[in-house]
Amino acid sequence: MRHIVSILSENQNGALSRVVGLFSQRGYNIETITAGPTEDPSISRITIVTDSDGVEIERITKQIHKLINVVKVSILDENEDGAVEREILFIKVQAMTRQVRDELKSLCDIFKAQIVDVTPELYILQYVSTTAEVNRFLQVVSELADVIETVRSGVCGIARGEHALHV
Amino acid sequence: MTMMSGAQMLVRTLEDLGVEHLFGYPGGAVLDIFDALLQSRQIERVICRHEQGAAHMADGYARVSGRVGCCLVTSGPGATNTVTAIATAYMDSIPMVVITGQVGTPLIGSDAFQEVDTVGITRPIVKHSYLCQNALDIPKFIREAFYLAASGRPGPVVVDVPKDCVNPKNLFEYPPMTEVRMRSYNPTRLGHRGQVRRAAKLLADAKHPVVLIGGGVVLSGAAKKVRTLVEKFNLPITSTLMGLGAFPGTDRHFLGMLGMHGTYEANEAMDKSDLVFAVGVRFDDRITNTVSKFCPAAKIIHIDVDPASISKTVMADLPIVGDADAVLGQFFDAIEEQNLTCNTAAMDEWWTQIEKWRAVKCLSYKTNDELIKPQQVIEAVYKATGGKAVIATDVGQHQMFTALYYPFDEPRKFLTSGGLGTMGYGFPAAIGAKVAAPDACVCLITGDGSFQMNIQELSTCLEFNVPVKIFILDNHTLGMVRQWQTMFYGGRISSTNLNYNPDFVAVAKAYGHEGIFVEKPSELEAAVEKALSMKDKLVIVDILCDTNEKVLPMQQFGGAMGDMFLAD
Ligand SMILES: Cc1ncc(C[n+]2csc(CCOP(=O)(O)OP(=O)(O)O)c2C)c(N)n1
Ligand SMILES: [Mg+2]
């Protein structure tokens, strides 16, 4: 099952590599990983999406927690109130003809995606949504136009409601 | 106010932490530190001949003394030479701090001379690691390193110190020692009270309970409480390799070691138990045999300071996270509160059954007048040392024979690489042990293969006067591997003969020590006694042993705990 693991770590040298290393060392899989600073400059937040069964996700949580730099770990999707998750997709597509351009434009309107860069031959589309929606968007776009390049940010997420992950 | 260089702060920090012995080896990146060490009256240096040796010495020192072992090596090859020893300590949860030199910070990442990414290379085999960025990081990180190494589940910590951080020209105010606090690290000491109460009740109600102890009992100093508990409920008890000595091996409650080369009675008792009371163990594959067939009728109570060890391989029915000694203390309260007593009738019945397994006498072996059996050597050393020696081993048959035929009555007497199985561990570990406990009788029981993996430390022993006694079970083979080839590879002997061994007695003498060669069973005891009587000498006793002897009993692959090959 797909899980979103949120980690608060001391913002120290090599902290991210310890987390990543742990996953490869123990044979856990990483679908996406993102990291960035938080409201507290001494803490960074790492979000990992992993596909693991119930027993394994508990083991992963315990192993991450064991890392000395890690302050807190939480499985976002286990939060009672649920979680908000998003990822960003950029997709560079060939947009040479009028017809393709119009279709891309209306597709972006439907999905609430944006065209963020335009050249005579290319569009860059930006789409922010859940992984499932991003996959769908990608699918539809690729049926419409030639895809030159895609880049995805990986998932970042936050628990809904009262639950908050901070020090 | 004292102004100090980074190197001086490093030395001073070690002094403030109570370090009396530092194992190590010099080199370019640590020149300034070794220079500063000349001024220390507290820290005695023990200089190895290969950095793997230094780090194993620190490990042996820690195992015997219970204190953090510390070693200092240079950058690049100095650091990489310690890797095996760091992994060894990591697998066995040994408190150790490894200080490595590093190229200067401006050079890091440039593939400078003797630069390696020490923190990167060691990342999966340390409890934690540090790369100093400036001189004032040194006292801070070393204090944290010692605290981390020794607390919670102990383990090795690496502190990488770039050369510019110890430059004697730059002086700093030495920060006073303060208590280490880390918001991201708070090991649990006390167990959950409700869980402890439930577990105590389960234990008292069990009809076929077995206590299983491991290295965690040694590390937390819980041996006494384990003994009290065992006696109170008249419990049978078994131990992992790492736990040997944490319960007296000669006590009637002790069933011997369990697992792959455990005793028949220990493994059968586990297999038929209805409750496994596990303290400070991690249920690794050398213990469980086939996990799906492991103790089918048993509920598992698992006490460990490391939550990640609980339900990692064997699912615990009742997990308790906490320090073994502290949690067992809580048990006595819970037992009293609930008025729990020994179920005498059930235990009598259980012991009657266990005695039947014991009567198989799975450790009996045949002797003859021609060839010395390795088991005989262990028994001779046991007899001559009164069972009181500190014994280090290497890895192989001689290691298992030691575990089975030398019953340790106290913790911290048996030094062996359990988790990693590192050949070459024993000799330097014995040196570290003797440095930590100069008055103890420290023996190394090794194999002709293993001893050659760190034989160079004979020179260290001469220089620093470390008179350990070395018993080589010289079977002219990598015996344990040969045993597998004999049993599971149709007897095809591939690359396990050792027909080009040196004359170990001559080696001893070349290094300035004593040597004795024995080949007749009738001469064995006298030779062992003679070696032990030369108190201030390092003595190698090279003992020619039967090449074909096997370590038995042995669990059958794919079987349950009690499925074992027995000696005929
Ligand atoms: C560093 C290392 N290399 C290889 C092995 C694999 N190995 C395990 S036991 C063994 C044989 C050890 O031979 P010896 O030291 O003579 O002991 P014996 O089994 O003969 O008593 C070997 C090669 C190991 N454990 N460690
Ligand atoms: Mg051998």
pLDDT tens digits along A147-157: 999 999 999 99
Residue B115 a catalytic site member: no
| Residue at A167 is within a domain | no
Answer yes or no: do A23 and A65 share one domain: yes
Q: Are residues A61 and A88 in the same domain?
A: no
Number of domains in chain A: 2
Continuous H helices in B234-313: 264-272, 285-288
Same domain, A24 and A40: yes
Expressed in angstroms and rounded, the spacing between residue A31 Cα and the centre of ligand 1 is 40
Q: Are residues A7 and A73 in the same domain?
A: yes
Is B451 an active-site residue?
no
| Pair A71, A11 in one domain | yes
Q: What is the pTM of this model?
A: 0.97
* Identity of the residue numbered B349: E
CA–CA separation, B3 and B15 (whole Å): 16
- For ligand 1, which residues put their CB under 6 angstroms from it? B 394-398, 421-424, 447-450, 473, 475, 477-481
Percent of chain B with pLDDT over 70: 100
Q: Which ligand is nearest to the CA of B481?
A: 1
In the predicted model, what is the mean pLDDT of residues B412-420? 98
pLDDT beyond 90 at B2: no
Residues A74 and A88 both lie in one domain:
no
Cβ-based neighbour number of residue A81 at 10 Å: 9
Last residue of a domain, one of A78, A102, A117: A78
Structural domain boundaries in chain B: 3-169, 193-358, 374-552
Structural domain boundaries, residue A41: 2-78
pLDDT of B31: 98
Domain-located, residue A165: no
Q: State mean pLDDT over B96-107.
A: 98
Pick the catalytic residue: B4, B51, B373, B453? Answer: B51
Q: Are residues A90 and A48 in the same domain?
A: no
Q: Are strands B21-24 and B69-73 parallel, antiparallel or unpaired?
A: parallel
Could you write out the DSSP letters of every residue in A109-149? HHHT-EEEEE-SSEEEEEEEE-HHHHHHHHHHHHHHS-EEE
Q: Is A162 domain-assigned? A: no
CATH homologous superfamily for the domain B193-358: TPP-binding domain (3.40.50.1220)
What value, to the nearest 5°, has the Cα angle with vertex B282 and ends B281 and B285?
120
Decide if B308 and A63 are in contact by the 8 Å CB cutoff: yes
**Residue A164 within any structural domain of the chain:** no
Give tens-digit pLDDT for B338-349.
999 999 999 999
Residue A166 lies in a domain: no
Is residue B254 annotated as a catalytic residue, yes or no? no
Are A101 and A71 within one domain?
no
What pLDDT, on a 0 to 100 scale, did the predictor assign at position A13? Answer: 86
Does the pLDDT value for residue B542 go beyond 80? yes
Digit-coded pLDDT (tens) for B287-320: 999 999 999 999 999 999 999 999 999 999 999 9
Query: Looking at the domain covering B3-169, what would its CATH class be?
Result: alpha beta
Q: What average pLDDT does the segment B193-217 reach?
A: 97
Domain identity same for A90 and A73: no
Residue of B nearest to A12 (CA): B130
End residue of a domain, out of A47, A78, A109: A78
Confidence of residue A53 (pLDDT cuts 50, 70, 90): confident
Q: What is the pLDDT of residues B144-163, one digit of tens each?
A: 999 999 999 999 999 999 99
> What CATH code is carried by the domain that includes residue A61?
3.30.70.260
Whether A58 sits inside 8 A of B185 (CB atoms) is no
Nearest to B184 among A10, A17, A25 (CB): A10
Q: What is the CATH number of the domain that holds A131?
A: 3.30.70.1150
pLDDT at position B488, please? 97
B69: part of which helix (H) or strand (E)?
Answer: strand B69-73
| Residues whose beta carbons lie less than 5 angstroms from ion ligand 2 | B 447-449, 475, 479
Instruction: Show residues of chain A in contact with B185, CB under 8 Å.
Output: 68
Q: Which CATH number fits domain B374-552: 3.40.1010.20, 2.40.37.10, 3.40.50.970, 3.10.450.50?
A: 3.40.50.970
Provide the mean pLDDT of chain B.
Answer: 97
Q: Say whether B193-358 and B3-169 share the same fold.
A: yes
Percent over 70 (pLDDT), chain A: 100
Shared domain for A29 and A8, answered yes or no, is: yes
- In a domain, residue A64? The reply is yes
A51 and A14 in a common domain: yes
Q: Which residues of B touch A18 (CB under 8 A)?
A: 123
Residue B487 has a pLDDT of 97
Q: Is the pLDDT of residue B1 over 80?
A: no
**Which of A78, A108, A137 is the last residue before a domain boundary?**
A78
pLDDT band at B187 (very low <50, low <70, confident <90, very high): very high
Verify that A45 and A72 share a domain, yes or no: yes
